[in-house]
């Protein structure tokens, strides 16, 4: 039986048998890994923390026949604040959900892992909407699905970040002036929120602009990945 050590974030836990769980981990070293963990549903389980949402830990995994089992874990960060605030909790769940959809089992996920950890840290201390928007933009770019948040129209070259209304092409992931295409319309506040999230504009985004930016990102991810983004939808729909 081989043994490996990984620094990983717990993305999802599914009940298995009476006291066990199946974990989806995103590791810095080996990308996404599915691993069983035994006995963690018992009240006094030593490794109970390792199956908690958003647990960031050093996991030791035993490998046999291509299957992994968690044998030990040492917690690095618990992100406890995310589990005590409903808004932050759902935003963090949306990060984990997106990471699952943007990675594949066994593929290198180092950049996505780093972006996830940064997003969860930011959510603990600041605006979770902007942290989520920044994460989604960065993660999509890392996976080759980047959105072009440019202040200039690719068709005519005019500046568009102060326009009252512009358009977004779901296929190319780019914005343009209203008169330069026939794609779906996007409000200026939505575009402003995306510019701020990418560090291309200084200032604060309106709440409605942030929510609409998340809706646009969800629509784009569904179009590109054919993904079911239930957690992101739940977060957007929170009152």
Intervals of CATH 2.40.50.140 along the chain: 2-77
Q: How large a percentage of the chain has pLDDT more than 90? A: 87
- Quick one: pLDDT band at residue 202, thresholds 50, 70, 90? confident
Instruction: Determine the pLDDT at residue 109.
Output: 72
pLDDT at residue 233 above 90?
yes
pLDDT in tens, 112-154: 999 999 999 999 999 999 999 999 999 999 999 999 999 899 9
pLDDT of residue 151: 86
| Contacts of 229 by beta carbon, 8 Å cutoff, 6+ apart | 94, 97, 98, 101, 218, 221, 222
pLDDT digits (tens, 9 = 90+) for 154-163: 999 998 877 7
| Mean pLDDT estimate for the chain | 94
- Specify whether the CB–CB gap between 50 and 43 falls below 8 A: no
Three-state secondary structure call for residue 210: helix
pLDDT value, residue 59: 98
Q: Which CATH class is domain 2-77?
A: mainly beta
- CB 178 within 8 Å of CB 160: no
Helices marked H in the chain: 86-102, 110-125, 128-142, 188-197, 207-225, 230-237
The pLDDT value given to residue 161? 79
Q: What is the mean pLDDT of residues 29-54?
A: 95
Q: In whole angstroms, what is the distance from residue 170 CA to residue 219 CA?
A: 8
What are the angstrom distances between the C-alpha of 39 and each of 27, 197, 199? 22, 41, 45
Instruction: Evaluate whether 138 touches 144 at the Cβ level (below 8 Å).
Output: no
Q: Please, which residues have CB within 8 angstroms of residue 232's CB and are 6 or more apart in sequence?
A: 94, 97, 98, 214, 218
Structure confidence at residue 164 (pLDDT)? 80
Residue range(s) occupied by CATH 1.20.1440.120 in the chain: 81-237
81-237: CATH superfamily? Recombination protein O, C-terminal domain (1.20.1440.120)
Query: Residue 108's pLDDT is what?
Result: 67
């Amino acid at each position: 039986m081989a043994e490996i050590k990984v620094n990983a974030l717990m993305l999802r836990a599914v009940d298995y048998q009476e006291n066990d769980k199946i974990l989806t981990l995103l590791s810095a070293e080996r990308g996404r890994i599915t691993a069983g963990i035994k006995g963690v549903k018992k009240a006094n389980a030593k490794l109970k923390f390792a199956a908690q949402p958003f647990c960031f830990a050093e996991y030791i995994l035993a490998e046999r026949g291509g299957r992994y089992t968690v044998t030990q874990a040492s917690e690095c960060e618990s992100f406890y604040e995310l589990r005590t605030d409903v808004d932050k909790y759902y935003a963090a769940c949306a990060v984990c959900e997106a990471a699952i959809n943007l990675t594949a089992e066994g593929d290198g996920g180092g950049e996505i892992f780093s972006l996830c950890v940064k997003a969860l840290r930011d959510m603990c201390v600041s605006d979770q909407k902007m942290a989520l928007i920044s994460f989604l933009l960065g993660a999509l770019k890392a996976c080759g699905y980047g959105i072009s948040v440019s202040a200039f129209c690719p068709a005519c070259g005019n500046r568009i970040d102060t326009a009252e209304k512009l358009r977004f092409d779901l296929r190319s992931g780019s914005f343009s002036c209203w008169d330069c295409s026939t794609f779906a319309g996007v409000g200026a506040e939505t575009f402003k929120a995306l510019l701020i999230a990418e560090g291309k504009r200084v200032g604060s985004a309106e709440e409605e602009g942030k929510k609409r930016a998340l809706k646009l990102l969800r629509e784009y991810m569904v179009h590109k990945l054919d993904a079911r983004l239930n957690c992101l939808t739940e977060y957007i729909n929170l009152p």
